[in-house]
Each structure stands twice: as structure tokens, then as C-alpha cells.
Amino acid sequence: MIHLFNGFQNPFGGSERETLDLYRLLSADVPVRLWATSSRVSDKLMRQFPIRPVSPATRNAPDGGTYVFLGAHWRNKLWPYLIPKPRRLIYVFNTFHPKIIALTTRMPRLLGWPDAELVLISDFQKRLLRVEGVVHPSPIDIDRFAPRQGRPDGPFTVGRLSRDTADKHHADDAALYEALLADGVAVRIQGGMPLRDRLAPHPLLELLPQGQFAAEQFLPTLDVFYYRTGSHVETFGRVVFEAMACGLPVVCHVHGGYADHIRHGENGFLFETTQQAAGILAELKADPARRVTVGKKARQTVEQLFSPQALRQQLDFYRR
């Protein structure tokens, strides 16, 4: 039995989606259970998936096997002392918090659990944290995403998708969006509520709350996917790969796990400064054929990254 643990607080969170995709893949041929470690678990996720809250008092708890924690922590909890110890303990570390790695890889002596096997989600993260562990890209069902057939009438559209948190938006991006709007470019941002007070209303500006549209519905409405975060360190960037799966040229800041898979000018674009980003977007606006060529390479990249063979190697790690 493989037990997957997550807080399951946000239906649009990266660790939640990673856990559910891993559940989908593993449960095809091994028994898997989903466990919520947070009392603030999402009602929506509870209705959609067989998620159980951990509660030893009601005998609702894992019973041994392989325990896999994804974006959730067992530290400072009572229930680990009240359940059978795992045969294997795996921690999928998908954020950037060095102190948490130290806390979660050193188990209390009284607990008697095995040492945690660490899984990182990008080489970028591994270099940044300087820790040892296997690297597994966050699994994505790329069959949900498909390049659109033909371009609908309308203005050239730049957009992005994220959670509705301020740390997902860079301080300089509001000025970039204003410049794009002044140049006749439509800007469409889902997860854009933190920008409502920083961007004036404009006929070509659309700010949507997180989750208004599924990613596979929203992304094909764009011509270019733009991405840069603020204080949040994007150790992988699932949404970037989802955009690439839609055949979109992606224009992303160099500081992120996705950058390891983007070859500048071939299957996407990387920038360091706002001025560089504006120049790339201007070139793509003027060259529809380039957008198509780069978008096709982007789709090929994710097909290789999430090929059946690559996913099988990841799953074998958990099943062994």
C-alpha cells in the first residue's frame, strides 16, 4: 500500500495537483490512499477525490507500507506516534524552504520511522538547496492540453495563470502590462486579483480570479504565455509546462525550475530584465510564424519530458 499525504487546502495549488496526478498514475496498478494532513482541507477536493483526514482517534489512519509526503509535514504532529511505522518514508520536496528540509529529514528518535528518501522536482531546486536526492519532474497529464487549431480573430494576447497570491507577481510586471496595453496588446491574467489595485481598467485588460477556467480552457486563449514571480521561488513551475503542452511560446524569467528545460529562442524564451521581456514580446507580436515554430518545439519538449517511459521510471521508484 502506498499512502500519499498532502494538506489538500487549495484546489489550484501546485503540490495538491502534483499529489493528485501521482495518485492517478500509481493507482492504475497498485493500491493507493490519499490522506489530508491539514484541518483546513478543501471541501471541493474532498468531494472530487477519495481523500481521508488523518484521525487515529476514529481509526482513520494509514496502516503501514510506503508513506509519501508531498508539500505536507509530519513534524510537530501527534498522530505519527499513534499509527504503524512505514516500511519506506518518502518526502517530495517541491518548495524552497531549507529549514524544513532539515526538520523533516531528521525524525524524532522515539518515532522509529526509517530515514526519509528525498525527492526533488528540478535540478534547479537541487542546485539551489545543495541537497542530495532523486529528481522527478512534477507529473502532468499533458493529454489534457492540446495546441489550438487556428487563431481566432482578436488582438495579440499575452497572459499568465497562477494562484491569487501577491508573491506570485513581480513588482515590475504592472508597468510591463501597462506598456503592452498601450501598444494594443491584450493582457489576460487568471490569478490576477492581487493586481486589481495596481492596474487601471482597460478594454484590453482582463483580470480573472484563480480557478475561473480550467488551465486547459484558459491557456489556449493566449498567443504567448508570460511568467515571472515575486518573492515566491518557482522550483518547477507546472503551469509553464502546461502552457508549453498547449503549443504556446513561453517567455519566462530565468530564475525558476522550468528554465532547465527551456532552450532560449528554440522552444521558449528566457529573460533577466523587464526590458528584455518587452523586447521578446514585441518580436513575437510581429512574427506569428515564429510563435508557431517555437510553440511546436515547446509541445515536443513536454512530450519527451512526460513520455510513458519517463513516467514509468518515476513510478518504479515509488512501487519498489
Domain boundary among 139, 171, 196: 139
Is the domain of 185 the same as that of 107? Answer: no
How confident is the model at residue 76, as a pLDDT? 67
Is 311 within a domain? no
Does residue 312 lie within any of the structural domains? no
In a domain, 313, yes or no: no
pLDDT at 179: 97
Question: Are residues 186 and 48 part of one domain?
Answer: no
Q: Could you tell me if residue 245 is inside a domain?
A: yes
Q: Which of 139, 160, 177 is the last residue of a domain?
A: 139
Could you tell me if 289 and 166 lie in one domain? yes
The answer to whether residue 271 sits within a structural domain is: yes
pLDDT at 110: 76
Could you tell me the CATH number of the domain that includes residue 260? 3.40.50.2000
**pLDDT for the residue numbered 176:** 98
Residues 191 and 269 in one domain: yes
DSSP lists the bridge partners of residue 66 as 2, 88
User: Does a structural domain hold residue 197?
Assistant: yes
Identify whether residues 131 and 149 lie together within a single domain.
no
Is the residue at 15 inside a domain? yes
Looking at the fold, whether 77 and 210 belong to one and the same domain comes out as no
Q: Write down which residue in 98, 119, 139 finishes a domain.
A: 139
Q: What is the pLDDT of residue 94?
A: 82
Residues 124, 253: one domain? no
Residue 211 sits in the same domain as residue 169: yes
What string of pLDDT tens digits covers the 320 residues of the chain?
999 999 999 888 888 999 999 999 999 999 999 999 888 899 999 999 999 998 888 888 899 999 999 987 666 678 888 889 999 999 998 877 777 777 666 776 778 888 889 999 999 999 988 888 999 999 999 999 988 777 667 899 999 999 999 999 999 999 999 999 999 999 999 999 999 999 999 999 999 999 999 999 999 999 999 999 999 889 999 999 999 999 999 999 999 999 999 999 999 999 999 999 999 999 999 999 999 999 999 999 999 999 988 999 899 999 98
> Does residue 235 share a domain with residue 99?
no
Together in a domain, 227 and 294: yes
Q: What is the pLDDT of residue 111?
A: 83
> Are 160 and 274 found together in one domain?
yes
Domain that holds residue 160: 144-305
- Cβ atoms of 298 and 268 within 8 Å: the answer is yes
Number of domains in the chain: 2
In a domain, 201, yes or no: yes
Instruction: For residue 60, count other CB atoms closer than 10 A to its CB.
Output: 11
Q: Are residues 133 and 155 in the same domain?
A: no
- Report residue 150 as a C-alpha cell: 487556428
